[in-house]
Structure 1
Amino acid sequence: MPPAAPEPSPRILVAGIGNIFLGDDGFGPEVLRALASRPLPDGVRAVDYGIGGMHLAYDLLDGWDVLILVDAVPDRGHPGRIRVFEVDGHRPGALPQLDAHGMDPGAVFASLAALGGRLPRTVVVGCQAGCVDEGIGLSAPVAAAVDVAVGEVRAVVSEFGSSAVVGGRVDGMED
Structure 2
Amino acid sequence: MSRVLVAGIGNVFLADDGFGVEVARRILRDGLPDGNALPDGVRVADYGIRGVHLAYELLEGRHDTLIMVDAVRVEGPPGTLAVIHVDAAAVDDAVAGADFADPLGPPAVDGHGMNPTAVLRLLRRLGGEIGRVLVVGCRPAVLEERMELSEPVRAALDDAVRLVADLARDEANREVERTNA
- TM-score, structure 2 length as denominator? 0.77
| Aligned residue among 25, 35, 45 for 1:33 | 25
1:16 aligned to 2:26? no
Which residue identity does 2:57 align to in structure 1? D
1:52 aligned to 2:63? no
The 5-angstrom pairing of residues 152-167 of structure 1 reads: 152-162=163-173
Deviates more, 1:154-163 or 1:25-34: 154-163
Q: Look up the match of 1:119.
A: 130
3-state SS of 2:88 partner: coil
Q: What value does the CA root-mean-square deviation take over the aligned residues?
A: 2.0
Q: Deviations over 1:150-170 (max 9, x none)?
A: 11111111212349xxxxxxx
Paired residues of 2:38 and 2:169 also in contact (CA < 8 A): no
Paired residues of 2:74 and 2:80 also in contact (CA < 8 A): no
- TM-score, structure 1 length as denominator? 0.79
Q: Look up the match of 2:81.
A: 82
Q: How many Å separate the matches in 2 of 1:28 and 1:147? A: 12
Q: Deviations over 1:83-142 (max 9, x none)?
A: 012111223249xxxxx9931222211211121111330011110000001100000110
3-state SS of 1:154 partner: helix
Which residue identity does 2:12 align to in structure 1? I
Q: CA, structure 1 residues 106+161, in 2 after alignment: closer, same or farther (shift >3 Å)?
A: closer
Larger % of strand: which? 1
Larger % of helix: which? 2
* Identity percentage of aligned residues: 50
Identify unmatched segments of 5+ residues in structure 1: 1-7, 95-99, 164-175
Identify unmatched segments of 5+ residues in structure 2: 32-36, 96-109, 175-181
Paired residues of 2:74 and 2:81 also in contact (CA < 8 A): no
Paired residues of 1:43 and 1:162 also in contact (CA < 8 A): no
Deviation at 1:42, TM superposition (A): 0.6
3-state SS of 1:160 partner: helix
Deviates more, 1:17-26 or 1:72-81: 72-81
Q: Which runs of 4+ in 1 moved over 3 A?
A: none
